[in-house]
Amino acid sequence: MTHTATTTVPVWIFGAKGMLAGELLRLLDLHPALELRGAVSRSEQSVLDAHPHAATKARTCNADEAKLAIAAALEAGSGAALFLALPHGESVAVWSALRRELGARAGELHVVDLAADFRLRDARRYASAYGHEHAAPEELAGFAYGLPELQRSEIARSRRVAAAGCFATAMQLACVPAARAALLDTTRPWVLHGVTGSSGSGVEPKPGTHHPWRHGNLWAYALEGHRHEAELAQALESVGPVPPIHFVAHSGPFARGIHLTCALPLARRLTTAEARSAYAEVFDGATFVDVLDGRVPDLRSISGSNRAQLAVSVRGDVLNVLCTLDNMTKGGAGQALQCLNLMLGFPEHWGLPRAGLGVC
């Protein structure tokens, strides 16, 4: 379905209290053709009380009210879109219930899940990554994987998309272009180090994300393996052998952003110029990915934007790739909106800022 700027598509958000929902509210206010009709939350707190930065007239509603309104919009032929901004593990239950209630009309609804419930096609890989069986493995094939720069055509053909994870987005942007060009040795470990801001831990305060503890501090976590490695392995399967992936995540002393450093073993001799050319070719024309030349990525340049920055260099037999992105936008709500734009036939950039915040 292709829409125009004069078309207004009604949108609902499930999980209205969370940080990614708050970011969706900010971005939807910039969108010329999406109208937020309701935000579902288990909390009785209003949308504006939960997110005072938002400029929205949408009210908080319960799930039953939202389901009735979605059904009415589909019945009227105006279309409808749904963002599932729920904690990991909850989207599958909400979607399964909504699908049953909507019946045949469920296939007309555009759904973007921001959680991890539908990102992995293989239920066994999901169980290995998340430590429990998937609650509805039959639903996995119904969701396209949502990383527009690498799966644009599949997303555009889909009604249901699982937006890629934040670290997983950075890892794939950094590694997949070189893998596709057969530049890398898959028999040796690929070593990746990522640092993320505190917003990646969600809206509920925890000892490790409380600002006085996080400020001026830095530490590693998930040393035995991070769940987002499974998304990178899934992407690499379509290219060739999957190498040993050694990813170490770190908690950084800032709120927004991811900085990823990759040391990737080369399969043959290569110059920095040749490596950069391979990345520039993959992302030629990509609105939200910049392949830098002579500069290194930094967080301030991309904070608040839907843009990712990449830089590559060769040192001996290792390809070094740096990537920065905002986990709240390109790694979260912005990516979800970018996917929905593609699904609805809107220009990919609608509602999405390219400029970072700069000095702040």
Give catalytic residue positions.
166
Q: Is the dihedral of CA 46, 48, 54, 59 positive or negative?
A: positive
Within 8 A by CB and 6+ apart from 315, the residues are none
Q: What is the distance between the alpha carbons of residues 320 and 326, in angstroms, rounded to a whole number?
A: 20
Q: What is the distance between the alpha carbons of residues 304 and 309, in angstroms, rounded to a whole number?
A: 13
Q: Work out the number of other CB atoms within 10 angstroms of the CB of residue 23.
A: 27
Q: What is the distance between the alpha carbons of residues 63 and 94, in angstroms, rounded to a whole number?
A: 9
Q: Residue 114 burial by CB count (10 A; 0-12/13-18/19+): exposed, middle or buried?
A: buried
Q: Which of 132, 129, 133, 134 is nearest to 117 (CA)?
A: 134
Residue type at 168?
A
CB burial of 294-326 (b: ≥16 within 10 Å; e: otherwise) equals: eeebebebbbbbbbbbbbbebeeebbbbbbbbb
